[in-house]
Amino acid sequence: MSEITLIGLGAMGSALGRALLENEFELTVWNRSVVKTEALIKLGAKAAGSLEAAIDASPRILICITKYEASRALLDQPSILSRLANKTIIQLSTGTPGEVRNASKWVSDQGANYLDGSIMVYPETIGKDAAQLLVSGDESIFRDCQPYINSLGGDIRYVGENIAAAAVLDLAVLSRLCAITPGVVNGAHICESEGVPLTYYAELFPEGDRSRSLALSIHHNNFTDDISASVNTAISCISAIKRHSEDLGINCEVPEFGIGLYQRAADAGLGDQDTASLIKVLREAS
């Protein structure tokens, strides 16, 4: 048995795995694409040969994949359902508060415990003092998992027993980014159009600020190295905001604007590139 199993080894999941291993926790990993497990195995993780083996390996299951429906599809199989009783599922996927509530009820119906969390930073920050994670759910379950969660960053915030609280706060912050990223990219487009060096523009923002890195990526026309957030990831996040707005019957003009712009980038083949590649859409339109 290991202490915790990690399912999902994309950029964020791999960063979570490295942080857990650096804190010397016994970690089992599983990913649909086996090649993505290799780097963590070299660092000391145990590889599960199947999803069933991954669930059996630990009492705590940390899930970090793109969507709640994808994680539900993984777990809602006869060979998995029988293994979930008394496990603790820690979900760090991106979704709406409604999806969180549904996931929590479903997990509870299987006789398992559930915590929901939101990661508020990019993968490169995981494990560092600046890494902020929000976690909500039963406080006693959180305390049991706290040593593992604390290893993921220096700013861990338990936001109460309302299971959807972390997701609500995450969507609120993502809503802010809906406007910031296109705004910064549009600012770069203004500078380019007037012949003002983008290095001057970038230097208006402090070191470590996402606006600075966006401007520099555009300056170097580098949209594929050290990707902080891809266009496809942005579409997924903003779509969650739009779904939540529609569920509540509140205004959704801001997410609709964001989805429209990012979708144009995806349709142009930029889905796997950094969100700074939105500049290509604006250049084309000009």
The whole-number average pLDDT for the span 30-43 is 96
pLDDT tens digits for 255-274?
999 999 999 999 999 999 99
Instruction: State percent of the chain over pLDDT 70.
Output: 100
* C-alpha 173: how far from chain center: 13
Q: Please give the pLDDT value at position 208.
A: 85
pLDDT confidence of 130, banded at 50, 70, 90?
A: very high
Q: Over the chain, what is the mean pLDDT?
A: 95
Q: Residue 63: beta bridge partners?
A: 7, 91
pTM: 0.79
Domains 4-162 and 168-285 share a fold: no
Q: Please give the pLDDT value at position 164.
A: 96
pLDDT confidence of 67, banded at 50, 70, 90?
A: confident
* CATH label, 168-285, candidates 1.10.1040.10, 3.40.50.2300, 1.10.10.10, 3.40.109.10: 1.10.1040.10
Instruction: State percent of the chain over pLDDT 90.
Output: 85
pLDDT tens digits for 206-253?
998 999 999 999 999 999 988 878 999 899 888 888 988 998 899 999
The helix (H) or strand (E) run that includes residue 27 is: strand 27-30
pLDDT tens digits for 155-207?
999 999 999 999 999 989 888 877 899 999 999 999 999 999 999 999 999 99
The whole-number average pLDDT for the span 9-16 is 96
Q: Please give the pLDDT value at position 285.
A: 78
CA proximity to 257, closest of 178, 189, 172: 178
pLDDT confidence of 122, banded at 50, 70, 90?
A: confident
Q: 4-162 in CATH: which number?
A: 3.40.50.720
User: Structural domain boundaries of the chain?
Assistant: 4-162, 168-285
Q: Please give the pLDDT value at position 227.
A: 83
DSSP states along 174-228: HHHHHHHHHHHHHHHHHHHHHT--HHHHHTTS-TT-HHHHHHHHHHTT--SSS-S
| Look-up of token digits 């707005």 | 245
